Amino acid sequence: MCTAGDVLASLERCDGSAAPASCAAWTDQRVWPSGAGLPLKPADCAARLMQDWLCALPTVPVGPLPPVLRGYDSLQFGDFGDTPPTISKFLARWALMLYVSSTAEVPYRYVLPTSRASSWAWLPGGPHAARQREADWLVADVCARHVPSTEAGAAGLAEAIMARARGEPPAGRSRRVAASGREPYRRRLLRGGATWAGLWWAGLLQGRVLTAMGPRAAALREAALARIDEVGGAAVSSRLLRPRDCSIRVGLHVRRGDACQRWAAPADGAVDPEGDCGTAVGRPCYATSHYLHAVRSLARAHQARSRSHAGGAASANGEGCVTTILLASDSPSVALELAAAAAASRDLRLLWVNIRRGADWGGTAELSNLGLGAAAAEANFIERRNSRGLLNRSAVLGAALADISLLATAHAFVGTAASWLSRLALLCVIGQSGSVPPFALVDRPMAELWHTTKGGALCPPHGAARARSGPRQ
């Protein structure tokens, strides 16, 4: 059992009018290691109540559409457009549409239109191939399989959380608006997404999207998950994080195949391949050692909390504590490097979906974009190769869904803000666990929940790091 008061007390800690100075917006944080100390950790029943509320909404707007929409299925802004080019952007856009519809002044539930599902560029065999039914791949309504709980209190809880998620000022705090008396809706959406409540709600929605796979997509995912390999470490439970358990599962996403135009150091996340903000800065990629350092830092912070909860009884040096890396990457070399590290370590364990990747499924060879300009590199992007019919779509889709499902079971997450698969994975961890996990982003803070500028372009600060010829260790 839980009450709205229990959840609101947690929400008000950082999103309310009396928020302490230590409560910074999550969008400004590149590393947030505190885990159990995060300001928003609602009970499982809070997630159930909110999903009950979502699934009771009408699927047809009964009021005016939110101002950020041109139509039921058309956005006026964003990194996705109306035709998301990659699998992760397609799934994230689906969650965004649910976020926009559920936070509308008169909320409703977005349902994926049949035309969008049938024309999806990542359907194996191509759109409309062999007259395949859309429902075989995607379940248009994320609530189609929902079983309502018997708990009460959804309406009151939803009212409070939606107020935060749509960017309304907390009780006792006013917001300055334009002389017209109405604040731009997009600005409110940005502010709502920067709250812990907005992040939590987006995670629940992304989790619902992940369950909306039809039987053919689910079969590809399960076939890939059957290929999980394990290296190193002692066997540890897959249960969710417990304060007295010093072992931890860290989801790790490393994108390197087509998104590597220059080697960079951590916190150098400048991305401006076409020079919109001045000098062109190619997409950065990072040495495996940088990701492993971030994983170990989150593990040490977790072990310190475990000792605190155990009253100092836990091993001071972390002996017996196992860090399990759940790896998703388009880079075979990253898997090999981490497997070697796990094999040589007593406290490191690696799990990954061991299937052919990258060039083996029709993608570009690893590091083939290193040093290339924007136009030449773009020709190698996975979405461009897909449009030219060069990819094994069944292999790519199965791997993507399996990787996301594996990452969603993590207790903490390491990735990059520039990658939508990383963002998607973080949201799915929230959707799976019902709480916001510790996270570390190798490149930069996320800046906003949903990119509202074309390409997510954020001009880099002066003096952005120059390109390098090899990975910095």
pLDDT tens-place string over residues 281-306: 888 999 999 999 999 999 999 998 88
The pLDDT score that the predictor gives to residue 365 is: 82
Mean pLDDT confidence for 441-451:
89
Same domain, 57 and 160: yes
Mean pLDDT confidence for 30-36:
74
Asked if residue 390 is part of any domain, the answer here is yes
Which residues face 348 on adjacent strands?
A: 323
Q: Percentage of residues in the chain with pLDDT exceeding 90?
A: 40
Same domain, 324 and 345: yes
Mean pLDDT confidence for 98-108:
93
Q: Which residue has the higher pLDDT, 391 or 360?
A: 391
Confidence grade of residue 39 (pLDDT, cut at 50, 70, 90): very low
Contacts of residue 367, defined as CB under 8 A and 6 or more positions apart, other chains included, come to 256, 260
Please name the helix (run of DSSP H) or strand (run of DSSP E) that holds residue 69, with its range, or none. strand 69-71
Same domain, 226 and 209: no
Same domain, 134 and 261: no
Mean pLDDT confidence for 66-86:
83
Same domain, 200 and 274: no
pTM of structure: 0.88
Same domain, 227 and 199: no
Residues 146, 139: contact at Cβ < 8 Å? no
Between 211-220, 328-337, 368-377, the lowest mean confidence (pLDDT) is in: 368-377
Same domain, 122 and 75: yes
Query: Residue 220 pLDDT more than 80?
Result: yes
Query: Residue 405 pLDDT more than 80?
Result: yes
Rounded Cα gap, residues 21 and 275, in angstroms: 37
Same domain, 431 and 378: yes
Rounded Cα gap, residues 426 and 437, in angstroms: 8
Domain region containing 23: 15-173+184-213
Sort 236 into a burial class: Cβ within 10 Å, 0-12 / 13-18 / 19+: middle
Residue 18's Cα: distance from chain center in Å? Answer: 29
Assigned token pair, 160: 């409070």
Q: Which residue has the higher pLDDT, 243 or 66?
A: 66
Same domain, 192 and 267: no
Mean pLDDT confidence for 61-87:
84
Confidence grade of residue 373 (pLDDT, cut at 50, 70, 90): confident
pLDDT tens-place string over residues 144-195: 999 888 777 788 888 888 888 888 876 545 554 444 445 677 888 888 888 8
Nearest C-alpha neighbor of 66 from the set 74, 58, 57: 74
